Structure 1
Amino acid sequence: MPEVRFLPLRPLALASLVANVALVVTGAAVRLTGSGLGCPTWPRCTDESYTTTSEMGVHGVIEFGNRLLTFALGFIAVACVIAALLERPRRRARVLLAIAVLLYIPLQAVIGGITVLTNLNPWVVGLHFLVSIVIIAFAYALWRRSAEGDGRPVALVPRPINHLVWILSVVSAAVIALGVVVTGSGPHAGDVDAKRNGLDPATVSQAHADVVFLLLGLTLALIFALRAVKAPRATVRAAVVLLVIELAQGLIGFVQYFTHLPVLLVGAHMLGAALVWTGTLSVVWSLRDRPDTVPVAAPVEPLPAPAEEPVPAPR
């Protein structure tokens, strides 16, 4: 049965991925501009209004704009679910991934509300960011799965390299988690009265840097291993791109630390964290292929024309 798509799932999935990365950036903007309590309550923006008011100034506009982006994410997620359900034949994995993205968005909104109601508790703020990382993982999986066939996954590299990549993925997640802890100890709290997590910034920053060096070493080892086993070019390219992102992110991290955390560099570092995670996911998905198993109909040979009977000669 030929595949029929009533809505284009793949571009919708890509839009969902890009929008969730954008949410990380706008969330950083809320914190870095001191607008975390621009709307001082939730789900309303004030006790009387669901929207920002002129008295709340630019901080209210920034915080309310970040809240509005959640509705855009929800709209795209609903479109992805509808597109996955309307596909013929319907792919169960695509439907489940689209539903996962959709369900996590209201959860993300609720955690965002809790951050406001707890006056920007740094641990809740960190959880708010980590949920975005989970949504990005589901959105990326949906985007990649929307272009795959229905066959069994075919490994493109030996099993030991798969193990190395999974270790690299765990370390990548640890780098992001430690970055959240570093952020919770730093000066950009989202509001002048917001509390910090009480940890020593220099100590947690050093722990974060140590795990970053481990991630860089694992990525370099992966590139050499992939070249040694003559892995597909796309797999090697994904690992090289990840290394470039890591190096750029590490450079931004060092510069921001020694220049006392300027706002623009911190925002770029937040974007870099989302890109490091996306690059890690790209490496994971490049390790195997899933071909299409829909049989292709063989061309029909035309039947030979019937031989004409000879016409008897007249007597």
Structure 2
Amino acid sequence: MTDVSRTGRYLSKNTLSRVALASVVANVAIVVTGGAVRLTGSGLGCPTWPRCTDGSYVTTPEMGIYGVIEFSNRMVTFVVGLIALAALVLVLLDRPRRRALLPLAVAVFLGIPAQGVIGGITVLTHLNPWVVGLHFLASMAVLWAAYAFWRRVAEPDGPVTPTVPTPLRRLTLLVTVVSAAVLVIGTWVTGSGPHAGDHGAARNGLSPELISQLHADAVFLLIGLSLAAWFAMRAVGATGPARAALVLIAVELGQGLIGLVQYFTHLPELLVGAHMLGSCLVWLATLALHYSTRERTPATTLPTTQGQDHSNVPDFAASSAS
């Protein structure tokens, strides 16, 4: 006989996992649509915020296609927020796992309006390039929370144990930090380039050539560290983290190729948009590597030490400081 409570619990977990994944996808989508706003020069299509115009919350015929594009991007924010709200409600209904999942669900849900407020400030500051960069980085922070939430939904509720030795966990942490630095420097490159989001928007005053070179140097460092992580994971037989590192390298190389082509073709809008999507994919692949170095083991399946020989098992947990 089927246990109804267990079946309902299983279906609930599957549903929550799908909604959590949808949240990740939606947060990538809003970065891409936000890029479309900037690349089409529609950043001030709605010249004020939270209204679209001084007299209307929605776009008007006088605003033309730029107003439609900007207002449509604002509507995407509501869709992303509704998905996050659905995830939060499901977590609240899941009593056995509520305590474990609630902090991340709340972080995603609250991060979306916070990111929206920063987007409003970009409009009110007439697309100040530093604020525009902060807007993008806020999206990356919410994407991190959404990814962490999705991973946590699929995990059991046991303790966290490392899957690789401590030095390799520190290496993956360094990869994550450098990946974040690449994103930050990338916003400086954007702020110095031609795609301001509006013809009258200011630039950050940095030299496009020099800041692009700094960005490229950071990317080379990231690829080198990712390669080191791949070789190191293979050396210790950590197949999961090694696979995650290889995926990250592949995404980085694809993103680097797009960046190189767009630089030498004078930043065509389509390639710049693809590069923004690539930034999200690199970040997600970085997070996948970071989270692959640890796992949660169900408490009911933890091995006991009595009567068992663990002399041939690497004691990663005992050597881990984190």
Q: Same fold (TM over 0.5)?
A: yes
Matches within 5 A, 1:219-234: 219-231=226-238, 233-234=239-240
Equivalent residue for 1:268, pick from 240, 264, 274: 274
3-state SS of paired residue (1:194)? coil
Alpha-carbon distance between aligned partners in 2 of 1:294 and 1:69, rounded to the nearest angstrom: 43
Equivalent residue for 1:149, pick from 131, 156, 167: 156
Question: What is the Cα deviation at residue 294 of structure 1?
Answer: 4.7
Q: Residue 133 of structure 2 corresponds to which residue in structure 1?
A: 126
Equivalent residue for 1:285, pick from 279, 282, 291: 291
Q: Residue 300 of structure 1 corresponds to which residue in structure 2?
A: none
Question: What is the Cα deviation at residue 6 of structure 1?
Answer: 4.5
Partner deviation per Cα, 1:253-298 (whole Å, 9 max, x = no partner): 11101110000000000111111100000001111221222579xx
Question: What is the Cα deviation at residue 155 of structure 1?
Answer: 1.3
Question: What is the Cα deviation at residue 91 of structure 1?
Answer: 3.6
Question: What is the Cα deviation at residue 93 of structure 1?
Answer: 2.9
Paired residues, number: 295
Equivalent residue for 1:58, pick from 57, 65, 75: 65
Alpha-carbon distance between aligned partners in 1 of 2:301 and 2:183, rounded to the nearest angstrom: 43
Q: Does 1:241 align with 2:247?
A: yes
Contact 2:87 2:105 in 1 (8 A): yes
CA RMSD of aligned residues (A): 1.5
Question: What is the Cα deviation at residue 130 of structure 1?
Answer: 0.4
Q: Does 1:185 align with 2:202?
A: no
CA, structure 1 residues 295+158, in 2 after alignment: closer, same or farther (shift >3 Å)?
closer
Question: What is the Cα deviation at residue 94 of structure 1?
Answer: 1.0
Structure with greater helix percent: 2
Question: What is the Cα deviation at residue 55 of structure 1?
Answer: 1.8
Matches within 5 A, 1:1-12: 4=9, 6=12, 8-12=15-19
Alpha-carbon distance between aligned partners in 2 of 1:248 and 1:93, rounded to the nearest angstrom: 36
Contact 1:122 1:197 in 2 (8 A): yes
Contact 1:6 1:86 in 2 (8 A): no
Q: What is the percentage of aligned positions where both structures have the same residue?
A: 62
Q: Which consecutive unaligned segments of at least 5 residues does structure 1 have? A: 297-315
Q: Residue 98 of structure 1 corresponds to which residue in structure 2?
A: 105
Q: Which TM-score applies when normalising by structure 1?
A: 0.91
Alpha-carbon distance between aligned partners in 2 of 1:70 and 1:92, rounded to the nearest angstrom: 27
CA, structure 1 residues 295+259, in 2 after alignment: closer, same or farther (shift >3 Å)?
closer
Q: Which TM-score applies when normalising by structure 2?
A: 0.89
Q: Residue 47 of structure 1 corresponds to which residue in structure 2?
A: 54
